[in-house]
Every structure is written in structure tokens, then in C-alpha cells.
Amino acid sequence: MSPDLNNLIKGIYLFSNLNDVEIAKISAICRRESFPRGKLIFSEGDPGDKLYLITKGSVRVSKKIRAGKEQVLATLQAGDFFGEMALIDEGGRSADAWTEDASELISISKNDFATLIFREKDIATSLLWNIIRTLSSRLRETDEKLKNLVEFKIGI
């Protein structure tokens, strides 16, 4: 695919350890998607079939607390990725994803991802390490949020 796409992919943390040949293999399974501002990309509970990379714009990941109220889990920018849990397990989407601005995304389907990393163990190792580090930092952030809530309750 285009050298342009390769450069965009290189800028994503998930792929930061890959060499040019490996980046080209990733690029071959990427699709570009454009979204206007304020658009729902997926809803909590939807079957997860794609990973998304942000090349332009920003995306809000949030959970519905009750009708008309949401809790923002993260606001993601160009270079960030989301929806990675869909590539790893069979659970549905764990939150909603909305575009905050007009956004350019790159998507990778679950099947293509699984096939690629099964064939290419070097790519697999590098990507899995980065996914693990990302999940672990998201886990710690969520744990902090939970702790703050518990303290808030005790403080009442």
C-alpha cells in the first residue's frame, strides 16, 4: 500500500517497534475510515470485530451510567488506538466510542490480525508486548478511579 499509510502506521504506539518490512505487512491489512464529529463508532455490547488506530482527530471512550449520563474512560488522540480487546477475546465492546472531532481512523479486522500474527511470530511478539503494556496501564488507571470512588464513599 501507499508509503503515506506506512508512515501513519509507524506513528502509532502499537507498531512502534516494527521495522519497515513488518510495517508494510500491517499496512496490507489496514482500511481507512473517516468519521464526522459526534459520530458513534461502536456501542457497549456490540460484537468486537476490529481494532481502530487514530491518525487524525480524537475519540471519546465512555460507559453509560444511566439514561442520559455517561462516564468518560478516556479521550484518545492521533497516535492512540482502541478496541484492542476485540482482537484478543470473544467479549463484546466494553464501552462506547464517539468521535470528538472529525476523525481519520485506520481499522484492522480481527481475522486479518489473527492470521498475520499467527504467521509472523516476530510481529506477534512485538505487538502483544505493546498490547499488554497498554492493557496494564489502562488497568491501573481504572483501579485508581475505583479507589477514588471508594474513598469518596467512605468520606461521606
Partner 1 sequence: MKTEALKRVYLFQSLKNTELELILSIARRWKFTAGQTVFREGDEGDRFYLILSGEVRISKQVPGIGEEALAVLKPGDFFGEMALIDDAPRSADAISNQETTLLGIERKDFESLLFLNKDLAYAVLWAFSRTLCQRLREMNDKLQAMLAMRGGF
Could you list the residues that contact partner 1 (CB under 8 A)?
Answer: 63-66, 69, 71, 73, 85, 88-89, 91, 94-95, 117, 121-122, 124-125, 128-129, 131-133, 135-140, 142-143, 145-146, 149-150, 152-153
Residue 3 Cβ, how far from partner 1 at the closest point, in Å? 28
Phi, psi of 98 (to 5 degrees): -120, 145
Number of Cβ within 10 Å of residue 130's Cβ equals: 19
In sequence order, what E strands does 7-151 have?
30-35, 40-42, 50-56, 58-66, 69-77, 81-82, 96-99, 103-109
Q: Looking at beta carbons only, is 2 or 69 nearer to partner 1?
A: 69
Residue 128 Cβ, how far from partner 1 at the closest point, in Å? 4
Q: Looking at beta carbons only, is 74 or 78 nearer to partner 1?
A: 74
Q: Looking at beta carbons only, is 87 or 106 nearer to partner 1?
A: 87
Q: Looking at beta carbons only, is 8 or 108 nearer to partner 1?
A: 108
Residue 135 exposure: Cα atoms within 13 Å on the Cβ side = 13
Residue 113 Cβ, how far from partner 1 at the closest point, in Å? 12
Residue 25 Cβ, how far from partner 1 at the closest point, in Å? 16
